[in-house]
Structures are given as structure tokens and as C-alpha cells.
Amino acid sequence: MKKKQIVVTGGAGFIGCNLAQALNARGHDDLIIVDHLNHPLKERNLNSLQCADYLDRADFRAALARDKFSGIKAILHMGACSSTTETDQAYLSDNNVAYTRELGEWCLRKNARFVYASSAATYGDGTLGYDDDHQLVPRLRPLNLYGQSKQDFDLFALNNGWLDQIAGLKYFNVFGPYEDHKGEMRSLVQKAYHQVLATGELALFRSHRPEYRDGEQVRDFIYVKDAVAVTLFLLDHPDRNGLFNCGTGRAHSWIELANAVFAALDRPPSIRFIDMPESIRDKYQYHTEAKIEKLRAAGYDRAFTPLHDAVSDYVRNFLAATDNHKPSNWITYE
């Protein structure tokens, strides 16, 4: 009997590549990877994976519409435009909403597992908190079109009764290996590593709200290894459905994150503050912190990697190793 396959969309991207590597470590070398190779570093990510097939996103959508696939047991949908500054609403509506709906409908029709990436950007300015209770979803007001696209699908899934059959993850500030292609959407850790090596210092945004001191804006930073572990937990437990926050449940300041980078580089902290661009000031999240009680109640009991340890692992074992031309597929999944 032919072994049923797993599809990872966005598999040459950041979370998707790490997720596919973790599946490879489990013995899944017959993955179907779907992406759009619009950056040479995504091609490098793809080359680190073992898979049975790679399909461009457009080709995959077309084949799925023609019902060309059989033997797929799960689609892990990590593919999306994740730029918080994207202004093409029609593109986001198609790529982030319609595409996700097509995959979800196919999985429900074929009785395949569907786990998709939502985002903490759906929470907007945080006024309503960060509770992944479904009753909060209709009230959320994202601050940018990217967040709204994720919110639009969450609402569709809620209103059509899908959330008792599929799982969505509201990823918070994920950082780690294989994010090099993301440009300005790269994590501060990745940007800081190169900036500190080049200049000896790190620039952080000033606060433009009086209740926050410069650098004391806080986010829930989660290492990609942990984000992958949560995603695989939901793959393994198809009876655990709905929206779940994917964060650590503990917020840290940008200064704490910066200090962890300097420590990983064995350098004393040297931070200067710069004005935040006016174009993003009214769309900037000053505080995010996941409520993870729902995830814990679902049975996920693994501890999250402490921030200092996660940053040290990423900087020393990936960023520095890559600079020294060592193999980039170092990451180990359990």
C-alpha cells in the first residue's frame, strides 16, 4: 500500500522549511513541497530538504482544482505573503485568503488533516487582549492588510463551522534559521547579527508612546523550533481543532532581545535609538503576549526555549556557522 503523503506549502520559506526538515527527521522523505521560488535563498532552503516532489504554488492550485491528487493525508499550509507593509489588497485576498480556502475545502472533502498559519497580527493594537477564544475573533481589528487577510480567513472558517475540523495557529514573533530571504520581514536577531558585526552597535526604534521607554516595547518572541513543535503536535492530534496561539506566553523587550544577541556574540551591548518611520507609527504593536492556556489544555506540555538560549543557539550554531561556510542544515529536531 502506498504511503500517504504530507504537503507543506511555503516549504522553501521560513517556518515551512523548518517544518519540512522536522518531518524529514521523522522519516518523511516523500513530502510534497509547494512554494514560489522568487528568491535565490529560497532555492537554498529547498535544497536542504528531502521530498518526493516540488510544485510551484500556481501549478499546485491548478492541479488541486482538477482533483489530480490522491493519497495525501495532510496539508500543512505555511505559504502566504507575510509582509506587514504589503499594500496590494487584491493579491492578499487571493494569496492569503482564497488559496487557504481552496486548501481547506479540499482537505475537508478528502478527510485530510489541515493545519494553517494564521498570525498574531490579527490582534491589532492589543486593546482586546491576546485570547484565542473564538468569540473574540469577530471583534478583532488588525492594523495592516496582511493581518486583515489572516483575520478574513479566520472569520470565514469560524462562520462556516470549519474550526471544529481544522486547526489554525496564530504565530507570534517567530525567529530562527532559514529566514534570510525575508528582507525587511527578517527577525531582529538576524538583522542584529549582521549589523553588530559590521558596525559594533545596534539601532532600535525609539518609543513614540509615553508609557513605554525607548526599547521597552515588548513582544512574544518564539524560536522556530518551538513553533514547529506546536505545529507537529496539531498534525499528530487531528481531534484538537480551532484557533491556537503559538507564542511562549511571556513577553520580552527589544532591549532584552538585543542584549541576548550581544551576549551570543561575546560583545558588550551598544544600542542607539532611532525614530520610527512615520509610515508605521500608527500601525506598530507595542505589546504582544500570547495566552497559551488553550494550547496547554489541548495537551501541549513541552517547555518553550528560554529567549537567551534560543538566541544563542541561532546566532552561534546557524548564523556564525553559515558565515564560516559550514553546512546549513545543522538544525536538529526531536
Residue 304 inside a domain? The answer is no
Q: Are strands 252-253 and 218-219 parallel, antiparallel or unpaired?
A: antiparallel
> Who wins on pLDDT, 244 or 326?
244
Options 123, 146, 171, 223, the catalytic residue: 146
Q: Are strands 113-119 and 221-223 parallel, antiparallel or unpaired?
A: unpaired
Q: pLDDT band at residue 4, thresholds of 50, 70 and 90? A: confident
pLDDT tens for 266-295 read 999 999 999 999 988 888 899 999 999 999
Is 326 in the active site?
A: no
Cβ contacts of residue 279 below 8 Å, gap of 6+? none
pLDDT tens for 305-317 read 999 999 999 999 9
Residue 284 inside a domain? The answer is no
Residue 55 inside a domain? The answer is yes
Which residue range(s) make up the domain with 109?
Answer: 5-172+223-247
Q: Is it the case that residue 48 has pLDDT exceeding 70?
A: yes
Q: What domain count does the chain have?
A: 1
Using alpha carbons, list the distances in angstroms from residue 278 to 165, 205, 206, 254, 282: 42, 11, 12, 19, 8
Options 182, 191, 283, 291, the catalytic residue: 182
What pLDDT, on the 0 to 100 scale, is given for residue 272?
Answer: 96
Tell me the CATH number at 240.
3.40.50.720
Local structure of residue 316 (DSSP, 8 states): I
Q: Is it the case that residue 58 has pLDDT exceeding 90?
A: yes
SS3 category, 3: coil
Residue 148 inside a domain? The answer is yes
Residue 156 CB: number of other CB atoms within 10 A? 15
Q: pLDDT band at residue 329, thresholds of 50, 70 and 90? A: very low
What pLDDT, on the 0 to 100 scale, is given for residue 2?
Answer: 58
Task: Determine if the pTM surpasses 0.85.
Answer: yes
Is 146 in the active site?
A: yes
Mean of the per-residue pLDDT values of the chain = 93
Q: Is it the case that residue 122 has pLDDT exceeding 80?
A: yes
What pLDDT, on the 0 to 100 scale, is given for residue 327?
Answer: 38
Cβ contacts of residue 179 below 8 Å, gap of 6+? 14, 186, 187, 190, 224
Residue 295 inside a domain? The answer is no
pLDDT tens for 65-99 read 999 988 899 999 999 988 888 999 999 999 999 99
What pLDDT, on the 0 to 100 scale, is given for residue 331?
Answer: 44
**What percentage of the chain's residues is helix, strand, coil (to nearest 5)?**
45, 15, 40
Residue 326 inside a domain? The answer is no
b/e 39-73 (16+ beta carbons within 10 angstroms → b): eeebebbbebbebeebbebeebbeebeeeebeebb
Residue 331 inside a domain? The answer is no
Residue 305 inside a domain? The answer is no
